[in-house]
Structure 1
Amino acid sequence: MGPILRLSALFVGLALAFPMMANAQEPIKIGVLLPFTGPLAKNGIENWEAIQIARDMINERGGVNGHKIVYVQGDATTPNAAISETERLINKEGIKITTGSFASPIAIAVSQAAERNGAFHWETTGAAEVITRRGFKNTFQVGAPARKYGQAAVDFTMNDLAKRLNKSVGDLKVALLWENRAFGKSVGDGIRAYAQTKGLKLVFDEGYDQTATDMTPIVQKLKDVAPDVLIAISFPNDAILFQRKAKELDFNVGAFVGVSAGYSSADLRDSIGDSVVGIFVADFPPKVNEDVLKPEVKKVAEEFYKRYEAKLKRPPAGHAAAGFSAIWALFTEVLPKAKTYQPDELRDIALKLDLPEGSLVNGSGIKFTHFDWADDPKDAGQNLRASIGVWQWTKQGNEQVYPPNLATHEAIMVPMPKWSAR
Structure 2
Amino acid sequence: MSDLILKKRNGASLTQQEIEYVVNGYTGEQIPDYQISALLMAIYYKGMSTQEVSDLTMSMVHSGDTIDLSKVHGMKVDKHSTGGVGDKVSLIVAPLVAAVGVPVAKMSGRGLGHTGGTIDKLEAIEGFSVELTREEFFEQVNTKKLAIIGQSGRLTPADKKLYALRDVTATVDSIPLIASSIMSKKIASGADAIVLDVKTGSGAFMKSLDGAKDLAQTMVQIGKSLGRKTIAIISDMNQPLGYEIGNANEIKEAIEVLQGKRVEDLREVSLSIAAHMAVLGGVYEQFEEAYKQLEHILDSGEALETFKSFVDAQGGNVEQIIDPAKLPKAKFQIEITSDAEGYVEKLEAEPVGVAAMLLGAGRKTKDDQIDHSVGITLKKKIGDYVQKGDVLAIFHSNTEDVKASIDSFKGAISLTAQKIDSTPMIYETIE
TM-score (norm 2): 0.26
Return the structure number with greater relative CO, CA threshold 8 A, min gap 6: 2
TM-score (norm 1): 0.26
Please identify the structure whose Cα radius of gyration is greater.
Answer: 1
